[in-house]
Amino acid sequence: MTATLETPPAPTVRRRLTGWPLLVLLTAALVVVTLVAAGSGQLHVPPAEVLGSFLHGIGIDLGPLPTHPQGDSALWAVRFPRVALAILVGACLAVAGAMLQGVFGNPLAEPAVVGVSSGAAVGACTVIVLGVSVFGNLTVAVAAFGGGLVTTLLVYSLARAGGRTEVITLVLTGIAVNAFAFGVIAFLTYVASPEAREQIVFWQLGSLNGATGSAVAAVLPLAVAGLAIATVVAGKLDLLALGEGPARHLGVHVERLRLVVVLAVALLVGAGVAFAGIVGFVGLVVPHVIRMIAGPAHRLLLAASALGGALVLVAADLLARTAVENADLPLGMLTSLVGGPFFFWLLRRTRGRQGGWA
């Protein structure tokens, strides 16, 4: 009787969606959601008319114009600036999160770790309580951006007091500075007038309700600068993933790379929260999901995270405007309701893998 040799089953290989197919898919989804979001609200405009209005506005006579008498003006005065700001803020937050996760080598890292969000909140709350209006309607945004940048530089300088920046030292320093910043915010909220207190709470909850063309114009150059820096350091982040020692042998100046990443994150997040307020978990959830889909290569990861972050924030803002009739829900509340459980799941998953990547 001859023994039969059975061929062992082939190991299961998880296929990843990578390269242009992923970017094209995300771009198509973003375009569709953007057209729906721009046309949704108390004055409904069909997606075809939204597209036609946009094309006519940029000088391309193609597609139908809105049939409602106020449709075209509503799109260009209110809807398009709001959607454009959502795209920019979402892209900034997601790319900032992806860069931090890469430079820390930890999927749980997010922009709040280095104090950008808390510093921005301190700056915004300070000018709200003091009633300062040096830059007019942009005063709160300028103060938020400045506060985020200063706090981030403070965290980095304190963490580097010994001449070298350890990741754990940077994280713990960020936690300490964040705790102090939130104490300052609590004090400012306590001494604020009822009107200022209401504005502080509204800003901290996050919203795109005040989006304007000037806000988009202010965020755009900062976002482009931050995204350009991300593109430049993408290859070095791949080398850093091999470990600090191998990265140094391959020519990566690790300390300089960390400083550049921290400054780029301050630029991206500061620009985002300056006009939208605190919008949490986008920088944590989006890069991690993209990494699970496409893998850890940072050039693709950063590009896909930018599109994914924009898609998530446009969809979240659409839900915030339409979930309750005649109400504009806080955007940060919605992202936290989704991001909180995801963070808990991610923490358990990471512990199960002993800190491994997806």
Return the pLDDT at 8: 45
Predicted structure pTM score: 0.86
Q: 288 falls in which pLDDT band (50, 70, 90)?
A: confident
297 falls within a domain: yes
CATH number of domain containing 127? 1.10.3470.10
**Domain for residue 11, yes or no?**
no
Is residue 53, in this structure, part of any structural domain at all? no
Separation of alpha carbons 344 and 358, rounded Å: 16
Residue 180 included in any domain: yes
Q: Note the pLDDT tens digit of each residue in 106-140.
A: 777 778 777 888 888 899 899 989 988 887 777 88
pLDDT digits (tens, 9 = 90+) for 249-274: 888 888 889 889 988 888 888 888 88
User: Does some domain include residue 54?
Assistant: no
Residue 183 has pLDDT above 90, yes or no: yes
Domain enclosing residue 340, as ranges: 82-352
Rounded CA separation 188/147 (Å)? 15
Non-local CB neighbours of 331 within 8 Å, separated by 6+ positions:
205, 206, 207, 208, 276, 277, 279, 313, 316, 317, 320
Higher pLDDT, 156 or 31: 31
Number of structural domains in the chain: 1
In a domain, 285, yes or no: yes
In a domain, 150, yes or no: yes
